[in-house]
Structure 1
Amino acid sequence: MKRKHAMPFGAELIDGGGVRFRLWAPGVDAVGLKLDEAGELPMLTAGQGWFELSHQTAHAGSRYRFRLPDGLLVPDPVSRSNPDDVHGASEVIDPDAFEWSDDGWLGRPWEEAVIYELHIGCFTSAGDFNGVIERLDYLVELGVTAIEIMPVADFPGRANWGYDGVLLFAPDAAYGRPDDFKRLINAAHERGLMVLLDVVYNHFGPEGNYLHAYAPDFFNPRHATPWGAAINFDSENSRTVRDFFVHNVLYWLEEFHLDGLRLDAIHAICDDSSPDIIEELAEAFRSGPGRERHVHMVLENERNQARYLGRHFANETTGGPLQATAQWNDDIHHVFHVLATGESDGYYTDYAAQPTELLGRCLTEGFAYQGEPSAFANGELRGEPSAHLPPAAFINFLQNHDQIGNRAFGERLSHLASLVAMEALTSVLLLAPQPPMLFMGEEFATNQPFLFFCDFGPELANAVTEGRRREFSRFARFADPAVRESIPDPNAPETFKNCVLDWSAIERMPQRTTLELHRQLLALRRQWIMPRLSGMGNGDPQVSLLSSRALAIYWRLGDGSLLSLHANFGETAIDAPAASGTRLFATPNFDDNNLDAGQLPAWSTIWHLQ
């Protein structure tokens, strides 16, 4: 089985031999093609800023760059491979060289999603695509049905979170060849695992992005972002820019046979046009690969815009997604974190006053903020009504790369909260109707932090290091400059190395106990809950507060059964109404005296299905 996405730009192999090279460079009047085996050749103008050239002896494996009138050599912005990093030559790739064996794979319905977020470089000591393949059977045994991979688009240096990518079509060479990534995806499909990929469409990284030099129309200075001028989705020449990203979506879904993409921070995308770029990308999902198999568009969006999550049919409860499949629900993470740690700094201040009530709202209505004022945002209204949407539209998580890595020392929640708190919250995460997401190592309470790391050139590296330490200066804990100096340097090799998971820990205590709890809960989800999620609509949920730290919730599942949660997140036991039905799970701190007596111990949950 062969797979290829044909593109109107970049390097495309010609049937019968040779390669067609095409570059959009409206900011210059001439472009040369520097082809390693043929020297330098002038490209032909093709109108509207396009330059092209076909070369009969170029082939898969040829290295090439484009020379600008000022002499600057730049890589292809749609390079499929840049073996020598972002400043080096691009490589012609033959997509048909890889033989797929997953032609019967049609993906999985979203109700079956149990997501595991991972970073290719830190997930195993190998630090590459092949290393992940070695752990796929472990993930299946754990109960995962989808892996979500942090961005792999080519970034500068050997280590990066991935959100500084500049060549958005080229898997970073630090992780392997493009075919190695395809081999990982193929292997995952053979095991019934979906593969989702994070993509970044709100900015390009600060090093290695040469678009300003020859295509300034790629940016719109009318919109300001934290990274400078916004990507041009709504001004002159924006059609070509939008096509670049539409093709990026289709490239990953078609040529790499991915099951979905997670669009990073769409709240940072500036676009006043209609349809906006998110709507246009959603149409590419649905009218392209989505016609033949399950593909999923996942959003990160601080604005809580429920409009992107609508479902088919008037009541929006029984049909598939109109646009996005789901969104990371930051609200529920923040509530979980406040309950577990008591922290109220920064954005946690919005969740500190009534965390249990807000948790109930997240579990029954999706967003905690649906148009209410945010104290953290100086009273700005945040969010849109979301109670009409199904639980499947909201991805729940206790941890992710951002919420861990944006802490000064990369502490995971299990480093900050008690074991009993983690057990109670984990049961809520893994048994609630919403699709759960784990961050790599969370399932065995790894000792490794997840720090912010990168590998920029010297001048930018120093600026990033100082900038990161300056960010924390407003916190009392880091007021002393000497204390700020203890924050790990993102560019130091040991910062990255300290984040690589130690897999030997799963054979030790207490990590083994935590791992077994996750396996138990996910087995229960697979047996009792997952088959009943389809068609449940919003679940007609009912929630009641039992105390300021306890609640009871009931959901009506798709087959008419009733799922109930009784939970106490306080430090003392409370009396609670007894639940009926089959007991699915109770946290280990229950005993025979209180299991059926209507009493909830401190930090406990109990689940029933009727």
Structure 2
Amino acid sequence: MAALNINNRSIGVNFNISGLAEVKLWAPNAGKVFIKLDKQMLPLIREKHGYWTLTTGEIKPNDQYWFDVDDKQLSDPASLFQPDGVHGSSGAFDVNAFNWTDATWKNTPLADYIFYELHTGSFTRDGTFKGIEEQLDYLIELGITAIEIMPIAQFPGERNWGYDGVFPFAVQNSYGGPRGLQHLINSCHNKGLAVVLDVVYNHMGPEGNYFSQFGPYFTDKYPTPWGRAINFDDAGCDEVRRYFIENVLMWFRDFHVDALRMDAVHAIKDFGPKHILQEISGKVAELTQASGKTHYLIAECDLNDTRFISPVNCCGYGMDAQWIDEFHHALRVTAGGERNGYYTDFNGIADLANSYENAYVYHGQYSEQRQKTFGTSTDDVNGRQFVVFSQNHDQVGNRMLGERSSHLFSFEMQKLMAGAVMISPFLPMLFMGEERSEPNPFLFFVSHTDQELIKAVRKGRKAEFADFHAHGEAPDPQAIETFEHSKLNWDILDQEPHQTMLRYYKALIGLRKHQPALKSPNRKNMSVEVDTASNTLILQRWTDEQSVICLLNFANINQNVMIPEGVDQWQKLFDSAGPGWNGPVSSPQIISTGVMAIPPESILIYTQYYA
């Protein structure tokens, strides 16, 4: 691998302190390479490891350019901006020209992250970074500490979830491009919000994917759901690995991103002596040492393998945290959701209690769906290394009709599910709109230009939901109406029951942030009691100064539970069934040890402070 400087991006087109453009392209099999401007062709010089380079004063910021590789006109695979989309020329962009004003910003401790996952195109009517910026005060008032932005790497057209990106360094043009992203992050930091960016290193999208014309970016060694696997361990892989390491460092260093959420890392195929994730975490540690800035790596992984989040010196990959889908699955089944597909492996409230205690539901047990023993122990893993939720983009958008919890569960159950997330010893995440019981769905949408690909996507979507035709046809992913229907409706904020739900979430998040026993991610100071017959659960958490008891009733009738003994009477902190939240009844302010009736579909939280 060619030497990598963690302090500066070196691939693509970059501008040095003298204003000269430094051009570097990896094309190991090329016989000749030029960079093509409006009226001239500039030859590049062959260097070691398959790179072609040039330093010139002929290229200026905002110039549009192509690479000419053996007489083939191609966009820059490390382009920072694609002003005309995935099939157009690349835009020269000076990433260091932005006037940052966030010098005093310090990343929020990971244990204090309260995530808000959002999709730029559908979060606001505007569908841009500027649109997000205009709603930052709303998110701050809600109590959010970190926004998590779904992928923004350039994808075909203007409508896409983002997982079909084909320019990992280029910021989606229709969202506001790289300068718009820098402006948003600067504003977030000045308002006290951390920024998490969703990145995809397990595959590339199909349209506008020209990587193979430059070098061996892909390998046939492994099958994937998306075609050829990215080449992390086959011949020529060194510079492919460097490409993605440079991408990680760029987001942290040049865009001031605070954390990366790394999509489906279980689908990254790398059987080399040092896994690419381990190498990435090592380089991020070097960057942190050099800059003094803290950055986090958060993995989405469905392998229930703590190796991904274990330190490198313990033979792990060094990720700081991971998403926990199994908490979501157990919670949904407990709440009365359907048990088909991957939900068949979950048995309701006993599994929810299991997840509270172990994060993974499967941590060494036999899985009927997988037909094997699955998962590893999490005994020594801190609660801040797990991210939990009652909804996310996948769990909503991968339904045929994109129904949110607001369509699937009662108002009381929605409140209970939110409470179940917030009282966990893990990091809570909201999916955009859930805090006001958003009625609009979040559907799957694309805006490809390749007609054959459009047909294939439509066909695949219909086949996926062939068993659901009684519920109608799957919405057309290519139709603009599908995208428009997925946008949040900001007009409901002064309407009921949305206004009450928003107030409820604010209060619940405030409780999480300010009650010591709930704020701490200490998994050891916790006990869980479950009654499967009554569908109730008692979660108790404590610190040296406070103890809280959380009483959860997922049944649709009153249920009696036994209040455990304490040093004194318990005082009520929170009551989801109270009239203040449009609930049916208010529970007592003070309770003692003994039997207590819990209202249906509700959560009660009581506390004791120690003298």
**Structure 2 counterpart of 1:13:** 15
CA distance in 1, matches of 2:297, 2:587: 45
| Maintained 8 Å contact 1:369/1:382 | yes
1:489 is aligned to 2:487: no
CA distance in 2, matches of 1:382, 1:229: 27
Partner of 1:278, secondary structure, is: helix
CA distance in 2, matches of 1:16, 1:108: 35
| Maintained 8 Å contact 1:234/1:271 | yes
CA distance in 2, matches of 1:240, 1:608: 56
1:545 is aligned to 2:530: yes
Q: Which deviates more from structure 2 when the two are superposed, residues 23-32 or residues 440-449? A: 23-32
CA distance in 1, matches of 2:61, 2:96: 10
1:585 is aligned to 2:585: no
What letter is aligned with 1:516? R
1:429 is aligned to 2:427: no
What letter is aligned with 2:10? P
Q: Which deviates more from structure 2 when the two are superposed, residues 365-374 or residues 191-200? A: 365-374
What letter is aligned with 1:275? K
How far has the Cα of 1:517 moved from its partner? 0.6
**Structure 2 counterpart of 1:139:** 139
How far has the Cα of 1:227 moved from its partner? 1.4
Map residues 41-440 of structure 1 onto 2, 5 A cutoff: 41-69=42-70, 71-215=71-215, 217-289=216-288, 292-310=292-310, 323-351=318-346, 354-377=347-370, 379-440=371-432
| Maintained 8 Å contact 1:409/1:487 | yes
* 1:35 aligned to which of 17, 34, 37: 37
In the superposition, relative to structure 1, how do residues 547 and 223 fare at CA in structure 2: closer, same or farther (>3 Å)? closer
**Structure 1 counterpart of 2:487:** 500
* 1:464 aligned to which of 457, 475, 480: 457
**Structure 1 counterpart of 2:24:** 22
| Maintained 8 Å contact 2:517/2:542 | no
**Structure 1 counterpart of 2:555:** 570
What letter is aligned with 2:29? G
CA distance in 2, matches of 1:453, 1:300: 22
| Maintained 8 Å contact 2:324/2:359 | yes
How far has the Cα of 1:505 moved from its partner? 0.4
Q: Which runs of 5+ in 2 are unaligned?
A: 1-5, 578-583
**CA RMSD in angstroms, aligned pairs only:** 2.2
| Maintained 8 Å contact 2:571/2:590 | no
CA distance in 1, matches of 2:513, 2:76: 45
CA distance in 1, matches of 2:96, 2:589: 62
What letter is aligned with 1:423? K
CA distance in 1, matches of 2:397, 2:499: 24
How far has the Cα of 1:594 moved from its partner? 9.7
CA distance in 2, matches of 1:50, 1:254: 23
Partner of 1:48, secondary structure, is: helix
Q: How big is each residue's C-alpha offset from its partner over 1:68-90, in whole Å with a ceiling of 9 and x where there is no partner? A: 32x43111111111111111111
How far has the Cα of 1:571 moved from its partner? 2.3
CA distance in 2, matches of 1:19, 1:56: 6
How far has the Cα of 1:426 moved from its partner? 1.1
CA distance in 2, matches of 1:17, 1:530: 54
Q: Which deviates more from structure 2 when the two are superposed, residues 387-396 or residues 502-511? A: 387-396
In the superposition, relative to structure 1, how do residues 232 and 592 fare at CA in structure 2: closer, same or farther (>3 Å)? closer
How far has the Cα of 1:593 moved from its partner? 6.2
How far has the Cα of 1:245 moved from its partner? 0.9
Equivalent pairs counted in the alignment come to 587
| Maintained 8 Å contact 1:5/1:251 | no
CA distance in 1, matches of 2:597, 2:62: 68
| Maintained 8 Å contact 1:111/1:530 | no
In the superposition, relative to structure 1, how do residues 512 and 213 fare at CA in structure 2: closer, same or farther (>3 Å)? same
What letter is aligned with 1:221? D
How far has the Cα of 1:530 moved from its partner? 7.6
* 1:512 aligned to which of 496, 499, 502: 499
How far has the Cα of 1:308 moved from its partner? 2.1
CA distance in 2, matches of 1:594, 1:187: 42
In the superposition, relative to structure 1, how do residues 55 and 161 fare at CA in structure 2: closer, same or farther (>3 Å)? same
CA distance in 1, matches of 2:416, 2:166: 41
CA distance in 2, matches of 1:540, 1:491: 50
Q: Which runs of 5+ in 1 are unaligned?
A: none
Partner of 1:341, secondary structure, is: coil
Identity of aligned residues (%): 36
How far has the Cα of 1:26 moved from its partner? 1.8
What letter is aligned with 1:16? S
CA distance in 1, matches of 2:465, 2:336: 19
In the superposition, relative to structure 1, how do residues 529 and 396 fare at CA in structure 2: closer, same or farther (>3 Å)? farther
In the superposition, relative to structure 1, how do residues 149 and 593 fare at CA in structure 2: closer, same or farther (>3 Å)? closer
| Maintained 8 Å contact 1:151/1:200 | yes
CA distance in 2, matches of 1:51, 1:332: 49
| Maintained 8 Å contact 1:106/1:292 | no
In the superposition, relative to structure 1, how do residues 77 and 368 fare at CA in structure 2: closer, same or farther (>3 Å)? same
1:444 is aligned to 2:429: no
Q: TM-score, normalised by structure 2?
A: 0.92
CA distance in 1, matches of 2:309, 2:262: 13
Q: How big is each residue's C-alpha offset from its partner over 1:177-198, in whole Å with a ceiling of 9 and x where there is no partner? A: 3111111101111111100000
CA distance in 1, matches of 2:240, 2:373: 31
How far has the Cα of 1:341 moved from its partner? 3.3
CA distance in 2, matches of 1:113, 1:14: 36
| Maintained 8 Å contact 2:511/2:518 | no
What letter is aligned with 2:24? R
How far has the Cα of 1:5 moved from its partner? 5.4
What letter is aligned with 1:456? H
In the superposition, relative to structure 1, how do residues 337 and 6 fare at CA in structure 2: closer, same or farther (>3 Å)? same
How far has the Cα of 1:565 moved from its partner? 1.8
